[in-house]
Chain A
Amino acid sequence: MKSFYDNNFIKIVRHLSANSYPVRLGARHKSAVQQKVIIFFVISLTLLSSASFAQSAVTGVVKDSDGASLVGATISIKGTSVYSVVDANGEFNIAAAQKLPFTLVINLVGYKTQEIEVYELPEEPLEISLIDDSLLDEVVVTSRRREEVAQNVPIPISVVAGATIEESGAFNVNRVKELVPTVQLYSSNPRNTTLNVRGLGSTFGLTNDGIDPGVGFYVDGVYYARPAATALDFIDIERIEVLRGPQGTLFGKNTTAGAFNITTRKASFTPSGNFEVSYGNFGYIQAKSSITGPLGKKFAARVSFSGTQRDGVLKNVATGKSVNDINNLGFRAQLLYAPSDQIEITLSGDLSRQRPDGYAQVVAGVVQTQRAPYRQFNQIIADLGYSLPSQNPFDRVIDHDTPWRSGNDLGGLALNLEAQIGPGTLTSTTSWRYWNWDPSNDRDFTGLQALALSQATSRHTNWTQEIRYSGDFSSNLSGVIGVFAIGQKLVTDPVHIEESGSAQWRFSQNSTSDLWKTPGLLDGYGIRTNSTLESFGGAVFANIDWAITDRLHVQPGIRYNYDTKDVDYDRQTYGGLQTDDPALLALKRVVYTDQAFKADASEKNLSGQVTVTYTVAKQINTFATFSTSYKPVGVNLGGLPTAGGEILLDLAKIKPEYVTHFEIGLKTTPTSGSTLNLTIFNTDVDDYQTQVQTAELGVNRGYLANAEKVRVMGAELDANVKIDSHFSFYTALAFTKGEYVSFTNAPVPLEEVGGESAFKDISGSELPGISKWAGSLGGEFVTPVKFLTKEGKFFIALDTYYRSSFSSSPSPSAFLNIDGYALLNGRLGIRVANGTSLSVWGRNLLDKDYFEQLLPAGGSAGHYAAVLGDQRTFGVTLRHSF
């Protein structure tokens, strides 16, 4: 506390500073003499009271870069305990140190600390500007395999920061899709997950392991081959970059529709740790921890753990249990070896074990097919004396007699080497990964024993090797060149089983013959499938940035692919009534038949792209891209349909997809705190690989086929603005129009099953899974606070998401359409950089009932099921970091 003498002394000394020079010159007048007497006594008293001697004050104002006063900023004198705080007027006044120079340190949470060395006491108040952390934190991405500011990269990119993920209770990819409206993710279980960008990438509905995803999923440069990876709990996520459009000349594995490029926190030589625990409704508990630090001068490590549990959100009246729960464990470890400044080698490993009773779907409706009245779903269940537990899917009640199980194990090892060689970086990424999938589904979605078992257990392993060199080859030439290889093996483990139960005869009955009523005809009648898929893909790719002038860059890229796939498929029937009666055997064959085939397919392809970028002004980057891309050949791994009792072997292989893509974009930074980006694109896909449904129960997961041509066009607007140090907003708006330009031989939709033809021309109709309009809008308010003695920031944020209606049937249906919906998520709390943070989050705050996906049940009896969006969930997360 300053003494009375201090304060008066400061005033007087400041007065002296301005008026005392006449002493040196010897001039005097009366008032000066009087003044001198006063000074004499004051100085004497001051000195005697041992107050600071010859002390003065520094005054000033502290503002942000927009000129707004930063009330609460702390000004301290380095090396002392003297400090002052900016008052409500935005001003400060601090007693100067005794000796010049001294250093003032200006601190405010959320701003870069500023140091000022004071060499002379200023005559006028200092004007100090602090730079907002967020202005320093440009969004840096590695989409082009080197660190760049997102606004300078001529690719439409959406970036979701790790902090946003942690604070919003979003614990896997499926829960961040609302932040990136150009992403569509449909998941009826981890295997049957469609991760699309701009409506393209993978087949809609149930997936088929025989084709490759079109959206590359990369974690720290390692390609994750199976879409089940989207179900992984996030651990240590630094950021997620979503790249829209083909990226084949930048990434090892072909990415015809886009890429998820996920970066995790690295092992560090600076010790730090993170402990986090979350509690929420439905018994949600999540614990995470992550520790990193040195293990010697050249080694560092990071070890992370995550465990998530949540009760089921659907009530199964058949068992009295709740299903669709969460029961996940994840572990990740990294060992970093840095033998020199130029070389870094990281060995990493991860394990995830998920054991939910889950991914049950609810009957959402019944369609009148064109089959005879006795084959309609309502008639069938009436005849069997069964009724659905509820007519309203949002009662979230199911009656499923077959247990749901979704054992999902993923893991792998990766060795990453980065070496600075010459003007660039050589990167080698070697990985081995596995995926073990152990499901049990009730695919008739009822309490009837129609499909008694549906268990497509699989074991997948893959290895990848990517070597690339990126850097500046000359003053105006930079880029990346690389080779990539992947080998995959997918086997049934040991077999896939589909088995009928006692009610199957009624669902399969396609005539009024009483033979269908033969007791035990189809009980326990099933198929065991033994299949192996081996595939290899190799690619050489290069992407060059040629700076013709500072403003004009041309970026050509090229890619050469070789892909081969071998499938060995053997499906054998078993069980049911053992009989030699040809009529009964014919009925059994209506349901399941033996099927065996081998197929191999290989394809070479040369594709490429050219991007032209022009910087109109420092804040305005424009770009135009033309690219061709290719998705490898596919093989049908879910069985083949039959015609007249014959297997349609022609469908064993499907053709590659050929993508022709054009886009123009504008990336602007209107002010230092805002961005505004616009992209317009058109993508044509020839021989579009799609999964089509058939009424045949033996192919109840559908089969792969090629649509002749599809087109997706659209426009995307992304904007971020930081109004001041408190308020920031973002919006992302996407208009996407997808259509089958030509698909003349598509299977009929559910309501037309049983009509004159099983196929129809759906050219000109809309592609499934694409909303014409989708958008996100959100904002955050932050303000500095103290929390548990630490400087922190209070935040409150709202995120809204909207998508318009979309088709949920590969062939357009009058029934399988999902209405548009809007969701509201929110979070508030206190974040502290190194200390304890607290956040409260809520998802689907308005408790909107909505479908994420609608799927026809196997056999096309007319009923269809829904993947329901989660109801309102909320929780609290406590995090401590050091």
Chain B
Amino acid sequence: MKSIFALNLLLLVFAYSTISAQELTASSSNHSYIPSSDVSVLAKKNQRIVRITGARFAYPLVQKWIDDFNKQYPDIQVIIESRASSDPTQYEVLIEAYEHTEEIKKDREYAYVARYAVLPVANSNSGLARTYADKGLDKDLIVQLFFHDIYADKEKQKEIKEPFTVYTRLQKAGVPVTFSNYFSYEQKDVKGKAIAGSDEHILKALLRDSTGLSYLPLSLIYNHETKKPVEGITVLPVDLNGNGKVSDEEKFYDELPVVTKRFEETSSKDLNNVPLAYLHFSIDKNSANSDAITFVKWVINNGQKDLNDFGYIRPDAQKLAKDKFELFASKRIN
């Protein structure tokens, strides 16, 4: 009897550890963000909880903000939560990477805290990387490589001899939406293998396939420590000035700081074929608690210095709209 109980106990421990491992694999992130059910426990211990969820590729940046914020506001616990519900009211703050419809937007207050750029990337061992790291991609070639288009003028298409496999997100998400919309397509038009997972999984898939081709935000392309592209992937330079050719001046993707500086300093009319979009915080206009507002306000005022370091582009001052959020915050907090 004892041995059976011991065996069961052993199995139980094993089962839990396996399930936990699976969950960690599932979240597949470098950070241990907290599942929703944990927060309710925390909430019982400490009422000053702000729950954030949303675009997962932004979590490292947001975590940095949280860490800095906590130094100033130790009583407010901001928690990044694995998104388990599509109901935004479950979270105090959403961080997302594409624009919602006006219907959704009317009840939320937005803070456009950063911009992110999306670039085409290929497995470094691929023929594509060997050829196009040098030749670069113009708009037509990007469209030809990435999108199903029955209206495309096949006559104009180039012959691509290198085998390639495009990887894209299955579920609707900010990065694929931004990438597709920039080239006047929808996410569903991206061809290739779909990934059920997050943007980080695109990176993983790319690394596993020597014919892999995809699109990623700078924050995932570059190693946060070395500031160089993640080993094994190559950025395919694009026709930045839109003149139909990729010159040597348009190949500057070896160091993250060079890239963010160039993108920030180049006027928008000369910044072609680089999908850029805003990362925004949003809170419910009516029900957001004051701690959430405080956090967002803090990010607006203090978060800009970290952007380049994490692979983001500073937002346009007008779009950041500090004053607007301040006004909203003053009404809500007071």
Contact = CB atoms under 8 A, between A and B. Distances in A.
Interface of A: 13, 16-25, 27, 39-41, 43-44, 47, 53-54, 56, 58, 65, 100-101, 104, 114-124, 126-129, 131, 135-136, 138, 140, 146-149, 151-152, 341, 472, 475, 478, 618-619, 669, 672
B8 interface: yes
B170 A128 contact: yes
Interface in B222-280: 244
Interface in B82-104: 83-84, 86
Given A43-B15, A65-B188, A117-B201, 13 more contacts: A17-B26, A20-B37, A22-B37, A23-B16, A54-B15, A118-B196, A119-B204, A120-B25, A120-B198, A122-B196, A123-B83, A124-B171, A128-B170
B38 A21 contact: yes
A24 B27 CA distance: 16
Interface stretch (B125-133, B151-159, B288-296): B151-159
A21 to B, nearest CB: 5
B202 to A, nearest CB: 9
Nearest to A129: B188
Given A24-B38, A140-B154, A152-B153, A117 B8 contact: no
The number of chain B residues touching the other chain, given as a range, is: 35 or more
A234 to B, nearest CB: 26
A119 B155 contact: no
Nearest to B25: A100
SS of B interface (majority) = helix
Contacts of B181: none
**10 nearest interchain CB pairs?**
A119-B197, A119-B201, A27-B41, A120-B26, A118-B196, A43-B15, A21-B35, A21-B38, A116-B194, A120-B197
Contacts of A118: 196-197
B23 interface: yes
B86 A124 contact: yes
Given A22-B41, A101-B201, A120 B27 contact: yes
B26 A121 contact: yes
B148 interface: yes
B173 to A, nearest CB: 12
B319 interface: no
B333 interface: no
Contacts of A128: 170, 194
B196 to A, nearest CB: 4
Contacts of A147: 154-155
Contacts of A25: 38, 41-42
A670 to B, nearest CB: 11
Contacts of B19: 13, 16-17, 20, 54
Contacts of A24: 20, 38
B28 A117 contact: no
B87 to A, nearest CB: 11
B171 A126 contact: yes
B46 interface: no
Nearest to B172: A127
Contact of B150 (A114, A122, A138, A341): A138
A104 B195 CA distance: 10
A94 B153 CA distance: 40
A124 B19 CA distance: 19
B160 interface: no
Contact of A148 (B22, B35, B154, B198): B154
Given A16-B19, A40-B12, A100 B151 contact: no
Given A117-B205, A120-B26, A126-B196, A44 B12 contact: yes
Given A22-B41, A53-B18, A119 B11 contact: no
A36 to B, nearest CB: 9
Contacts of A13: 19
15 contacts: A21-B37, A22-B38, A24-B20, A39-B12, A39-B15, A40-B8, A54-B15, A104-B196, A119-B28, A119-B198, A135-B150, A138-B150, A148-B155, A149-B153, A619-B151
Contacts of B153: 148-149, 152
Contacts, number: 138
A640 B242 CA distance: 69
Given A20-B19, A22-B37, A122-B171, A117 B195 contact: yes
B11 A47 contact: yes
Nearest to B153: A152
Of B83, B150, B167, the most chain A CB neighbours within 10 A belong to B150
Contacts of B324: none
A115 B198 contact: no
Given A17-B23, A27-B41, A116 B195 contact: yes
B193 interface: yes
B37 A149 contact: no
Contacts of B86: 124
A131 B148 contact: yes
Contact of B11 (A43, A101, A122, A146): A43
B57 to A, nearest CB: 14
Contacts of A41: 8
A40 B152 CA distance: 59
Contacts of A53: 18
B259 to A, nearest CB: 26
Nearest to B16: A23
B245 to A, nearest CB: 9
A168 to B, nearest CB: 26
Interface string B62-91: 000000000000000000000110100000
A138 B197 CA distance: 32
A478 B154 CA distance: 13
A8 to B, nearest CB: 14
Interface string B1-29: 00000011001100110111011011110
A100 B24 CA distance: 11
B196 A116 contact: yes
Contacts of A104: 196
B194 A120 contact: no
Nearest to A19: B37
Contacts of A619: 151
A119 B196 contact: yes
Contact of A152 (B155, B167, B188): B155
Contacts of B150: 135-136, 138, 149, 669, 672
Contacts of A475: 244
A124 B196 CA distance: 11
A117 B151 contact: no
Given A43-B12, A47-B15, A116 B193 contact: yes
Contacts of B167: 117
A372 B26 CA distance: 102
Contacts of B193: 115-117
B84 A18 contact: yes
B55 to A, nearest CB: 15
A138 B153 CA distance: 11
Contacts of A56: 22
Contacts of A148: 153-155
